[in-house]
Structure 1
Amino acid sequence: MVKPHLKEQWCLPDGPSGEFVARMEDVIEVYHRPADPKRPLVCIDESSKQLVSEVREPLPTAPGAPARYDYEYKREGTANLFMISEPLAGWRQVTVTDRRTAKDFAEVLRWLVEERHPGADKLVLVTDNLNTHDPGCLYEAFEPDRARRIAAKLEWHYTPKHGSWLNVAECELAALSGQCLDRRIGSAARLRQVVTAWVKERNERKVGVNWRFTTADARVKLRRLYPAPQKC
């Protein structure tokens, strides 16, 4: 299970921030809601991957010797990975795209609403503050009626600035990066093969999330971020 813990490397504001703690408490509250199939919890994040191919054929592994790679390589551009995580269901999906434009993000939302969860009343959506992450992206990609229908199915919850650690999808991206992207991958097609295999294995095991950090914890461990109330 992915278990978030407070760590020194967490990016936090330099001082008290009402905006930060308000959004933090909102997302924490969402994570502690009971599972509801009519209102599935969906977390989305994205990351880029540098595509790199080999210039020389690596030497394969042999008894007592690991595979050997030449220091030279060829840059093949970059690819974007959209991570879709449903932590309460132990399910995730990774979509590889050439870019991460508003239209690309809108297509991810459309797929979630129209194909993944067509019978849901609402999708409880957790994302960060990237400028493409708002209902406006839907109107850039679809006709107004369709955009409005999709937007009406989304309940948005934003992580605060300096608070991407509050997005479970980022935890999943960290696992993906450490478990299968720490190698040279030369094409988007090969990248899709790698992440598809990772997703399949992880979904079969229904790897979920045990989110233990509560609002009460935040008010103690992060109390320096809470503004002091003004006395009347």
Structure 2
Amino acid sequence: MSQSAVSRVWRAFGLKPHRVDTFKISKDPLFVDKVRDVVGLYLDPPAKAVVLCVDEKSQIQALDRSAPVLPMLPGVPERQSFDYIRHGTTSLFAALESTTGQVISAVKRRHRHQEFLAFLRTIDKNVPAGLDVHVVLDNLATHKTPAVKTWLLKHPRLEAPRGALCAR
């Protein structure tokens, strides 16, 4: 079979063998219940509450080009030098309110439970006092330290779906 014949078959059936997606099957016996809790919060948020999807992006390279970027011109793409200067790394903390698209964010030098606690305090300050806060998180170790659990117990308006953050 010729290469062009194979290409025609791939195009006809929308096949892209060079693309690969990955997935992971949870072994958590409560996974379905946890998914229902989280999805339920997003689809039908409680009255007088804010649902925030919280995540961190750590180890962001803080880079700067060694020469000024040359602007795009008609028929000429933007140009930048190939080399760069390292300014270390940083961590971005963000909380997305899915119903409004509002984002509460903070940039921190490190990515430990102390920085996560500081971000929870930022969330607490930025959400109006009359609202409960439902925080949807992954199971990162910094979310489950004794210090974080203790802080959450002292701030009961911040809640997490079952399994997203087991503070209670």
> Structure 1-normalised TM-score?
0.54
Matches within 5 A, 1:53-92: 53-92=64-103
Larger Rg: 2
Matches within 5 A, 1:1-232: 9=21, 11-13=23-25, 17-34=28-45, 36=47, 38-48=48-58, 49-120=60-131, 122-134=132-144, 136-138=146-148, 148-150=153-155, 152-157=156-161, 158-159=163-164
Cα deviations by residue, 1:22-41 (Å, 9 ceiling, x for unpaired): 322221122222452x2211
How high is the sequence identity, in percent, across the aligned residues?
28
Question: Separation in 1 of the partners of 2:65 and 2:97?
Answer: 35
Residue 73 of structure 2: SS of its match in structure 1? coil
Number of corresponding residues:
144
Residue 124 of structure 2: SS of its match in structure 1? helix
Cα deviations by residue, 1:8-52 (Å, 9 ceiling, x for unpaired): 736321x7652433322221122222452x221111001132111
CA RMSD of aligned residues (A): 2.7
Structure 1 segments unaligned to the other structure (5+ residues) = 1-7, 161-232
Q: Report the structure, 1 or 2, having the larger helix content.
A: 1
Q: Report the structure, 1 or 2, having the larger strand content.
A: 2
Question: Separation in 2 of the partners of 1:20 and 1:66?
Answer: 48
1:12 is aligned with what amino acid? K
Answer whether contact 1:58 1:70 (CA < 8 A) is retained. Answer: yes
Question: Separation in 1 of the partners of 2:164 and 2:148?
Answer: 20
Question: Separation in 2 of the partners of 1:116 and 1:55?
Answer: 41
> Structure 2-normalised TM-score?
0.71
Change (3 A) 1:10 1:56: same
Structure 2 segments unaligned to the other structure (5+ residues) = 1-19
1:118 is aligned with what amino acid? A
Question: Separation in 2 of the partners of 1:22 and 1:80?
Answer: 31
